[in-house]
Amino acid sequence: MNLLLSPPSLDDFIRLLKAWRFWVLGALIGSALGAAVYSIAPPPYRAKATVNVDFNFEEAFPENTDRQDFYYLEREARKMEEIAWSDDALGQLDAPIEELRSGKLTLSQPAEAGWHFHADDNDPQKAEALASAWANAFVEKVQAEIQAGNLNEFIKLEVTQSANLPKERSAPMSNYLLAGASGFLFLSVIVKLFTKAK
């Protein structure tokens, strides 16, 4: 118990530094385990569709100040983000809405310029189909809201990527290698610190 509660001494640090071979071995073992986990249970594929959103500040409010533009952008972007996650938009995708909202879909950069619609699935073609359908449903619903007067008429949308989408694993192997190596390095330090020297 005293060993656990006592602060590390200079001898402890020297012992840790002398055990560099143990550290290297631990890092190699951890990296190998990380690679094995990646191979056995890889992360799902992620596809990304892109919609270009132009709020046209200069046409919508030519006399506005920067502060007014900021509030306009924040308000309209929030409305559009709600449309993206709405039952109407997600209902056009070939998957249960609960599953889509529980991490299968992610939306990034909801402001002006490119809105990125990500979809994850173990099947890369299914991920691509979901991302493409979501982006197109979003544009359709937003344009309907613009026509109804619920969004500013100067907002322009264009689906810039909805076919032949890039599909990659949602997490690269390097993350697994780093996590494995870091974990085993930490364990090797703990083992060396709490193992009495001979």
Q: What is the pLDDT of residues 83-133, one digit of tens each?
A: 999 999 999 998 999 999 998 999 987 766 789 999 999 999 999 999 999
Answer yes or no: is pLDDT of 38 > 70: yes
Answer yes or no: is pLDDT of 7 > 80: no
Q: CATH 3.30.70.1130 in the chain, residues?
A: 45-169
- Classified as helix, coil or strand, 65 is coil
Tens digits of residue pLDDT in 124-182: 999 999 999 999 999 999 999 998 988 888 888 999 988 888 889 988 888 988 998 88
* 152 and 55 Cβ atoms separated by less than 8 Å: yes
Architecture of domain 45-169: 2-Layer Sandwich (3.30)
Q: Does the pTM of the predicted model rise above 0.85?
A: no
Query: Going by C-beta distance under 8 Å and a sequence separation of 6 or more, which residues neighbour residue 166?
Result: 47, 48
